[in-house]
Chains A and B, each alone.
Chain A
Amino acid sequence: MELGSLYAYLGVSIAVLFSGFGSAYGVSLPGKMAAGVVTEDPKKFGQTLILTALPGTQGIYGFVIGMLMSFKFSSITGPIPLEVGLRFLAAGLPVGIVGLVSAILQGRVAAAGIGIVAKRPEESSKGIIYAGLVETYAILAFIISFFLYNAITV
């Protein structure tokens, strides 16, 4: 395999792999707590579900970037030049790595938010906002990944 193609593939897998791992872990944190809350009070399923789903978005961002990148390089006929391959790799890094870290940290905030749902359900929207704050940085990384991807000309 050409080195260029290898790097391009790596770019896609980094974007999807890391953000996906982060989201899976991030969702598991509030998920565990939510299950505990629901054992006590099954009526809180809806509110806890929202908080649990929040750290899942990083995985989506990684997936979107990964998909876009694989569309782009599958449209290339012939081997991918080394420089282009490296650009794919660089484009995958922000969304992958920031996604990994931010999803885990967001998961922690969301898990704490589950505590709000358990004790003061009427204030649970505030927990959602707190968890949303962490996501900002995943969004910024997604934007940059997207523009890096967009700048790759074949």
Chain B
Amino acid sequence: MAIVPMKHLELYGLIRHKSSFLSELQRLGLVEIAPLTPEELPSEPSEEIHQRLTEIDGHLAEINRVLEIFERFDPQRPNFVEQFAGMKTVLTWEEQQNYLAAGEKMEELKAQVLRYEGEYNRLEQESAQTEREIAQLVPWKELDLPRETWSGSKRIQVLLGSIEGDLNTFTAELDAQEIPYSLKAFGIYENRLYLVLFLLKSPEADEALRNSGFVTTVPNIPAGTVGEYLDLLERNQSERAERLAALRSALKELAAQRPLFQTFYDYWYNMKLQVEANRQLLLGKDVFAMAGWVEAEQAGRVEKVLEAMGLPYYLRFRDPEPDEEIPIALKNTKPVAPFEALVGGFSYPRKDEVDPTPAVAPFFFLCYGMALGDAGYGLALSIICAVLLWKLTMRPRGRQLAWMFVASGLGAVFFGLLTSSIFGYAPYRGLFSVVESPQILLIVALGLGLVQLYVGTIINGWINIRNGRWGDALWKQGFWLLFLTGILLTVGAPQIGLEQYSLYFRYGTLISAALLIIGNTRGKQGFWAKLIALPGGLFTIYGSVSFFSDVLSYSRLMALGLSGGVMGSIINMFVGMVWKTPVIGWLFGIIIFLFGHALNMGLNVLGAYVHSSRLQYLEFFNTFFTGGGRPFAPLKLENINIFLRKEREV
């Protein structure tokens, strides 16, 4: 129910067995292997490990390439939920084993996929190129002179080309120079008129041609007429299109093997983790040594499993040294555990701190309930998350978050029932109405804030006591609480009918303030040092301003609850308005109700989450928690693409 106690572990074994040990430890997933200290690092990195990693990276890159090809030819379409949760492939254990046994088939298919894709890309490129070629040749389609005649005869030159502008101006130019010619025009393509020109070979003719703006373009064909060559190209093109279609459908069909490749991707990924773990082993001549951490409760299990391997080894556990940094794992009772996700989102505690999860859980529950504030929305949220948990495969962190929202939704149900708010309707008289008397909600919100911050301060005191700093607990947190309570009573005495005692409250406040200032001089040596520390104590007093502004920060719960509530009732008002319309009024009413409340709920669920977390992270944690612990990260099998069905049933 707190930070899990860890044991330090040392394992020695024969170097030739090290892969078996690592693989077994990875399968077990209970041991975090500590990195080598700088002195222990070998002078030169192992060539063998480097080579193996390069090889594995090669496998991963190839499989990834195949998966990308599948995605290109047969894209996976995530449904609405998967848009948010991501897509996962779920297999049974048997399926996974069958896939892993089909390594050869995988290699074969991989080669095939890569080959097909290579061909596809090549054909596609060729096809685009031919397309361009065709576009260039199309103007000459009607030219019935074969390639061989284009060089002309001794006296006559054959010119293929284009002019800009009018044919008449062009011929007028030639006529003016009295040059004999004959021509045939083919039509205008991209603003240029294409034509074939037969001209007497003479310097005058060349001169006239230059001035006329005629540009020679010789179509690039091997032989025959342009029309014949175009036919050939188009035949090729349609053959290519057929082949491309065939390749597309073949690849699409191959994409059905996606799980096989995903399984191998995960396999090689985990192999990579295992090989990387080799770097954390200390190697002797025949013996390797490994240091690490294991949850104290699991130490026995690790020992048993290693023993069952039947290989020679030596295993030693010890408790962590006082100043040793240990990895942090949290363990809490079932109702509280989901809120670990919230703490993890901020930071893990250091080992001398306490796990804040059990304290965060009830307050987040209440904050969320108040901020969402509607039983209908709360129930809908809980049900949605419960269904997701039931239907969907998630990583542990995702499951925790989903459970947290199930619980938090129930908080809103609780609060909505108290204030009688179900989808913006108030079917009965609740304790008070959020929309009608939000002042009460404000007071409740601030009250919750005050309680939570008091609890935080008390926890801080308790940490001090636990770590043997009784003095700190008394002088820092004890008198601080006394002082805050004094201020509250002094200010609030008239409201709660304790006016006759207000003088005592005032003195109490002053005395505790004085004690706080004196407390600040603790630990200072010598009279002068103590004297100089006194003004610093005034800052402690000033801290009460920030304490009360933290409390005021909880007013956001009221604002969220109120705006959600008012929005809900406005939606219901619209529904009521259209409901009276005859015949189809009810239909529009239902549409407005569903759409409006879905939108309002979405925004409120989000706002309540953001602001409730913020209250924990900033206001609450400020009183006792800094975090900065390193989360426990055992060597284990990771799921990247593949999830096993049995995990779903846990």
Contacts and interface: CB of A to CB of B under 8 A. Distances in A.
Interface string A107-143: 0000000000000000001101101110110011011
Given A53-B606, A129-B613, A132-B611, A64 B556 contact: no
Interface of A: 42-43, 45-47, 49-50, 53-54, 56-57, 60-61, 63-64, 67-68, 125-126, 128-129, 131-133, 135-136, 139-140, 142-143, 146, 150
Interface of B: 78, 83-87, 345, 438, 442, 553, 555-556, 558-560, 562-563, 566-567, 570, 602-603, 606-607, 609-611, 613-614, 617-618
A47 B83 CA distance: 9
Contacts of B567: 60, 63-64
Contact of A56 (B86, B603, B617, B618): B603
B562 A43 contact: no
B607 A57 contact: yes
A143 B86 contact: no
Contacts of B442: 143
Contact of B610 (A43, A54, A143): A54
Contacts of B613: 125, 129, 132
A45 B85 CA distance: 10
Nearest to A133: B614
5 contacts: A129-B613, A135-B611, A142-B563, A143-B555, A150-B438
A53 B599 CA distance: 11
Contacts of B560: 139
B86 A139 contact: no
B602 A129 contact: no
A126 B345 contact: yes
Contacts, number: 77
Contact of B438 (A47, A56, A128, A146): A146
Contact of B570 (A67, A132, A139): A67
B78 A60 contact: no
B553 A64 contact: no
Contacts of A135: 607, 610-611
B78 A61 contact: no
B606 A50 contact: yes
Contacts of B84: 45-47, 49
B563 A132 contact: no
A130 to B, nearest CB: 10
A125 B21 CA distance: 37
Most chain A CB atoms below 10 A, which of B442, B562, B603, B606: B606
Given A60-B567, A64-B567, A139 B603 contact: no
B603 A57 contact: yes
B566 A132 contact: no
B598 to A, nearest CB: 13
B563 A61 contact: yes
B78 A42 contact: yes
Nearest to A123: B345
Given A42-B78, A146-B438, A64 B563 contact: yes
A132 B603 CA distance: 13
Contacts of A45: 83-84
Nearest to B442: A143
B563 A60 contact: yes
A136 B566 contact: no
Given A45-B84, A64-B563, A129-B613, 7 more contacts: A42-B78, A49-B84, A67-B566, A131-B610, A132-B613, A143-B555, A143-B558
Contacts of A126: 345
A129 B610 CA distance: 6
Contacts of A54: 606, 610
Contacts of B559: 61, 139-140, 142-143, 146
B566 A68 contact: yes
B556 A136 contact: yes
Shortest 3 CB-CB contacts between residues of A and residues of B:
A46-B84, A132-B610, A139-B559
A150 B618 CA distance: 30
Contact of B86 (A43, A129, A131): A43
A45 B84 CA distance: 7
A15 B442 CA distance: 22
A54 B87 CA distance: 25
Which of B86, B555, B559 gathers the greatest number of chain A CB atoms within 10 Å? B559
A133 B575 CA distance: 34
Contacts of A42: 78
A60 B613 CA distance: 21
A84 B66 CA distance: 71
B78 A128 contact: no
Contacts of A133: 614, 618
A131 B610 CA distance: 9
A54 B604 CA distance: 10
A132 B560 CA distance: 13
A99 to B, nearest CB: 12
